[in-house]
């Protein structure tokens, strides 16, 4: 059997992980045929990195060339890692050409786009996979196993809090994510992971959503809280020098090549002040969800926390299950100005620490701790490597039966998205929103 031919559309930061997985780790089964992007400078950077890894370069296509090559049958699977707002265009393009599509989360950013994707999937021989990598985190797999094994009986309610720290959380306020039209806001862009996990853990679909959100910390609130340094973008701004929220593009070879060197082509500034005007997303969000199983969830997302991690508690008919994860216990000053995960070296890396606990608390018994192997602090708790192994590796297990049901389809993509989109609608109107009033999933 020949190797499967892949094209990656959207040659930004996230594409690097996939390019390596295809062109290096799984090169025996996969061929990275091309990158496609509106910005050639970023595609050139990716090809330099492939060269450093000893892999051959990929072709560099414009979006129009991508459409032609898909129609000509030159690609078997299209991988979508572009800006969220553009996902639907490429998912539909791939499906119309009859090829499989693997798309980054969120599947898309609004109800109309979601409807178009579902319709295109229904009429295509191609299949859609949404890369909900968090399903492949060993801690999350364990929670799924415990719930499926009835460790706490039927789940009545879920209490879920997610904290993004002032490095990672801040990063959504520097560039395109800060505009709801580009990202759908954090209930869509970020919480789609969390809402997917709950759908998957409970085997449930959302029914009614009520949400409330505000921009409390970033944007023009920075002046009120005493953080605004009065510059638009960090590069070339003297005022950014002592701002712990400033991102220094020139200090990181990756950021320089992907963004600073590329910005003359499209005016994409990666390093805007998180306190500069123009933010249309929220940084503090509360959501109440009722599911079709009868379960309820209270959810909170904070994007300006001193530590990063999450707490999930499931209240069941036979006890309670608690998952506590500390991804970073604080943001060290040396690492504050770097992008999360990408550049932490030496003391900064050592200073921050993480950990987890999974506790099952059955009624009338002492609590028991559950340990998990394979969890790491790299690539979303070790999830990225495990997911790409399933996506591209042995037996291309993508559409193979999976005991944990980890592969997510466009219906799963829509089900998670609809919690966020119904939440956005609820924030707008102040009223609870029935998901089926927006879209049948």
Ligand X SMILES: NC(=O)c1ccc[n+]([C@@H]2O[C@H](COP(=O)([O-])OP(=O)(O)OC[C@H]3O[C@@H](n4cnc5c(N)ncnc54)[C@H](O)[C@@H]3O)[C@@H](O)[C@H]2O)c1
Residue (133 or 252) nearer to ligand X, CB: 133
316-350: burial string, b at 16+ Cβ within 10 Å, e else = beebbbbbbbbbbbbbbeebbbbbbeebbeeebee
Q: Is 81 in the site for ligand X (CB under 6 A)?
A: yes
* CB-CB contact of 69 with 75 (8 Å): yes
Residue (269 or 314) nearer to ligand X, CB: 269
Residue (133 or 315) nearer to ligand X, CB: 133
Q: Is 82 in the site for ligand X (CB under 6 A)?
A: yes
Q: Is 47 in the site for ligand X (CB under 6 A)?
A: no
The residue within the footprint of ligand X, chosen from 25, 31, 60, 63 (CB under 6 A), is: 63
Q: Sign of torsion, CA 172 173 177 181?
A: positive
Residue (38 or 370) nearer to ligand X, CB: 38
By CB under 6 A, the count of residues binding ligand X is 22
Residue (128 or 208) nearer to ligand X, CB: 128
Q: Is 105 in the site for ligand X (CB under 6 A)?
A: yes
Min dist. Cβ of residue 384 to ligand X (A): 7
Min dist. Cβ of residue 131 to ligand X (A): 6
Taking alpha carbons only, the member of 424, 396, 405 closest to residue 108 is: 424
d(CA 210, CA 298): 10
The residue within the footprint of ligand X, chosen from 5, 10, 70, 418 (CB under 6 A), is: 10
Q: Is 77 in the site for ligand X (CB under 6 A)?
A: no
Min dist. Cβ of residue 269 to ligand X (A): 11
Q: Which of these ranges, 3-11, 143-151, 418-426, 427-435, lies near ligand X under the rule CB under 6 A?
A: 3-11
Residue (172 or 314) nearer to ligand X, CB: 172
Q: Is 341 in the site for ligand X (CB under 6 A)?
A: no
d(CA 176, CA 269): 9
Q: Is 42 in the site for ligand X (CB under 6 A)?
A: yes
Q: Is 380 in the site for ligand X (CB under 6 A)?
A: yes
Question: What is the per-residue DSSP string for 228-266?
Answer: --S-SBSTT-GGGTT-TT---GGG-HHHIIIIITTHHHH
Nearest residue relative to ligand X (C-beta): 12
Range 115-154, binding ligand X (CB under 6 A): 131, 133
E runs forming strands in 62-154: 77-80, 100-103, 128-130
Residue (309 or 316) nearer to ligand X, CB: 309
d(CA 310, CA 327): 8
Q: Is 75 in the site for ligand X (CB under 6 A)?
A: no
* CB-CB contact of 257 with 45 (8 Å): yes
CA angle 34-40-45, nearest 5°? 80
d(CA 375, CA 377): 7
The encoded tokens of residue 421 equal 């989109």
Q: Is 257 in the site for ligand X (CB under 6 A)?
A: no
Q: Is 313 in the site for ligand X (CB under 6 A)?
A: no
Question: What is the per-residue DSSP string for 181-195?
Answer: HHH--HHHHTHHHHH
Residue (146 or 325) nearer to ligand X, CB: 325
Give SS3 for 177.
helix
Q: Is 11 in the site for ligand X (CB under 6 A)?
A: yes
Q: Which of these ranges, 5-13, 114-122, 233-241, 368-376, lies near ligand X under the rule CB under 6 A?
A: 5-13
Range 163-222, binding ligand X (CB under 6 A): 189
Min dist. Cβ of residue 117 to ligand X (A): 14
The encoded tokens of residue 76 equal 């078997």
**Which residues fall within 8 angstroms of residue 374, CB to CB, at 6 or more apart?**
138, 382, 386
The residue within the footprint of ligand X, chosen from 59, 83, 348, 396 (CB under 6 A), is: 83
90-115: burial string, b at 16+ Cβ within 10 Å, e else = bbbbbbebebbbbbbbbbbbbbebbb
Contacts for 224-229: CB closer than 8 Å, 24+ residues apart: 227/275, 228/273, 228/275, 229/273, 229/275
Residue (194 or 290) nearer to ligand X, CB: 194
Min dist. Cβ of residue 322 to ligand X (A): 24
Q: Is 9 in the site for ligand X (CB under 6 A)?
A: yes
Q: Which of these ranges, 37-45, 150-158, 196-204, 392-400, lies near ligand X under the rule CB under 6 A?
A: 37-45
Residue (228 or 308) nearer to ligand X, CB: 308
Give SS3 for 49.
helix
Residue (39 or 77) nearer to ligand X, CB: 39
DSSP single-letter state for residue 403: T
d(CA 127, CA 102): 8
Site residues (vs ligand X, CB under 6 A): 9-14, 37-39, 42, 63, 81-84, 86, 104-105, 131, 133, 189, 380
């Amino acid at each position: 059997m020949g190797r499967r031919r892949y094209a990656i559309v959207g040659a930004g930061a996230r594409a690097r992980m996939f390019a390596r997985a295809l062109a290096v780790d799984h090169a025996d089964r996969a061929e990275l045929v091309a990158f496609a992007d509106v910005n050639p400078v970023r595609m050139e950077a990716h090809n330099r990195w492939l060269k450093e890894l000893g892999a051959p370069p990929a072709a560099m296509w414009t979006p129009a060339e991508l459409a032609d090559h898909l129609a000509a049958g030159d690609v078997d699977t299209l991988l979508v890692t572009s800006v969220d707002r553009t996902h639907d265009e490429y998912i539909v393009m791939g499906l119309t050409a009859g090829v499989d599509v693997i798309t980054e989360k969120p599947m898309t950013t609004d109800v109309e786009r979601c409807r178009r994707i579902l319709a295109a999937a229904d009429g295509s021989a191609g299949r859609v996979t949404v890369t909900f990598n968090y399903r492949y985190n060993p801690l999350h797999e364990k929670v799924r196993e415990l719930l499926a094994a009835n460790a706490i009986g039927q789940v009545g309610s879920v209490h879920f809090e997610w904290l993004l720290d002032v490095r990672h959380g801040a990063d959504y306020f520097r560039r395109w994510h800060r505009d709801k039209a580009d990202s759908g806001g954090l209930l869509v862009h970020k919480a789609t992971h969390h809402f997917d996990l709950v759908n998957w853990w409970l085997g449930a679909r959302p029914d009614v959503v009520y949400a409330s959100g505000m921009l409390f910390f970033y944007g023009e609130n920075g002046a009120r809280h005493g953080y605004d340094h009065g510059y638009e973008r960090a590069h070339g701004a003297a005022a950014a020098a002592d701002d712990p929220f400033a991102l220094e593009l020139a200090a990181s070879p990756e950021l320089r090549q992907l963004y600073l060197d590329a910005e003359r082509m499209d005016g994409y500034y990666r390093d805007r002040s998180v306190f500069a005007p123009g933010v249309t997303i929220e940084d503090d969000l509360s959501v109440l969800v009722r599911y079709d199983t009868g379960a309820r969830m209270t959810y909170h997302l904070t994007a300006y926390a001193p530590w990063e991690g999450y707490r999930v508690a499931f209240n069941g008919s036979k006890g309670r299950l608690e998952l506590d994860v500390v991804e970073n216990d604080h943001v060290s000053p040396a690492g504050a100005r770097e992008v999360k995960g990408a550049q932490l070296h030496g003391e900064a890396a050592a200073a921050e620490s993480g950990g987890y606990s999974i506790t099952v608390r059955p009624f009338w018994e002492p609590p028991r701790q559950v340990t998990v192997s394979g969890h790491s602090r790299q690539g979303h708790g070790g999830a990225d490597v495990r997911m790409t192994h399933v996506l591209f590796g042995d037996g291309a297990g993508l559409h193979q039966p999976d005991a944990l049901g980890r592969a997510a389809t466009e219906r799963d993509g829509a089900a998670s998205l609809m919690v966020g989109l119904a939440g956005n609608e609820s924030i707008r109107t102040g009223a609870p929103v029935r998901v089926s009033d927006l879209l049948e999933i």
